[in-house]
Amino acid sequence: MQGKKEKPLYIKLSEEILEKYRHLEYYSPLPGERELCEIFHTSRPTIRKAIDVLENEGKLIRLQGKGTFFTGNGSHVAHEMNSIIGFYNDVKLQGKDPKSKVLFQNVEPASGYVAEKLGLNEGDMVFHLERLRYIDEELYSLTNSYHPIDFFPDLRKIDFTETSLYDTFEEHGIHIAKMLQVLEVRASNEYEAMQLEIEEGEPITIRSCVTYDTNEQIIEYVEIRTQAYKTKFEIMAYR
């Protein structure tokens, strides 16, 4: 009987690297190539091929000028592309702890862009809520949501630090029926980079959503910005 073909050295090495660093938290830095060569007593080309394998498997990510980072413990899996449960409830269902830091909460005139998204006239008053969202104390996203003030005048009185916006809607008889979502990736600007604690120009994912209630009334326009590699989107498609 012919024996099993032995694994290439770089495959064995990729498994050893993963085993050694699997305890690291998500997005922790790994040693550089030269140090990895010393740790595993092998050549730089072999190290590079092993890292290529792990990067293709989604276990590592390489950022030019920054190094290699461990992502094997899994990023947040967002189900909100196919289920309107909101960030707070989605995180809770995954056994994690969601929190928010409110950066801005006020009533203001709608810009032309926001007014168009909400089906309003420019200058109409809207409730604007800007938050940093955290998962298990780790900074996750920068979220800006806008709401026509007429449909819920008391929104500005609520503390959204640990309160679900969507649960608040339901408690007040506002039932969400559908959501139009757009997903894009682009370079971060100065403000986005500052809030997300990254370098300006690093890629971010922006999920923008227009939300409707059961009466087909637009009740929210929201933009969620995250580092491009911090989220996996789980989407169910039907024929």
Q: In terms of domains, do 55 and 81 share one?
A: no
Q: In terms of domains, do 66 and 80 share one?
A: no
Q: What is the CATH number of the domain that holds 177?
A: 3.40.1410.10
Which residue, of 40, 55, 70, is where some domain finishes?
70
Which residue, of 24, 42, 70, is where some domain finishes?
70
pLDDT at 36 over 60: yes
Q: In terms of domains, do 109 and 167 share one?
A: yes
pLDDT in tens, 60-101: 878 766 788 887 666 677 777 777 778 888 888 677 888 999
Q: Which residue has the higher pLDDT, 45 or 151?
A: 45
Q: In terms of domains, do 147 and 200 share one?
A: yes
Tokens found for residue 200: 């300006």
Q: Is residue 85 part of a domain?
A: yes
Q: What is the DSSP letter of 59?
A: S
Q: Which residue has the higher pLDDT, 226 or 162?
A: 226
State what percent of residues in the chain have pLDDT above 90. 55
Q: In terms of domains, do 203 and 123 share one?
A: yes
Q: In terms of domains, do 16 and 59 share one?
A: yes
CB-based contacts of 118, cutoff 8 Å, min separation 6: 110, 124, 126, 146, 147, 148, 210, 218, 221
Q: In terms of domains, do 63 and 82 share one?
A: no
Contact status, residue 156 vs residue 105, Cβ threshold 8 Å: yes
Residues pairing with 45 in the sheet: none
Q: Is residue 2 part of a domain?
A: no
Average the pLDDT over 104-109 and give the result.
Answer: 94
First-residue to last-residue Cα distance in the chain:
47
pLDDT confidence of residue 127 = 95
Q: In terms of domains, do 60 and 137 share one?
A: no
CB-based contacts of 82, cutoff 8 Å, min separation 6: 234, 235, 236
Mean per-residue pLDDT over the chain, rounded: 88
Which residue, of 54, 70, 86, is where some domain finishes?
70
How far is Cα 19 from Cα 130, in angstroms, rounded to an integer? 40
Which run of H or of E encompasses 74?
none
Into how many domains does the chain fold?
2
Q: In terms of domains, do 89 and 122 share one?
A: yes
Q: Distances from the Cα of 119 to the Cαs of 46, 146, 153, 175, 208, in angstroms?
A: 57, 12, 18, 19, 15
Which residues constitute the domain of residue 117?
76-233
Q: In terms of domains, do 15 and 113 share one?
A: no
Q: The dihedral of CA 106, 108, 110, 113: what is its sign?
A: negative
Q: Is residue 1 part of a domain?
A: no
Helix 44-56 × helix 9-21 angle, to 10°:
70
Q: What is the CATH number of the domain that holds 57?
A: 1.10.10.10
Contact status, residue 152 vs residue 102, Cβ threshold 8 Å: no
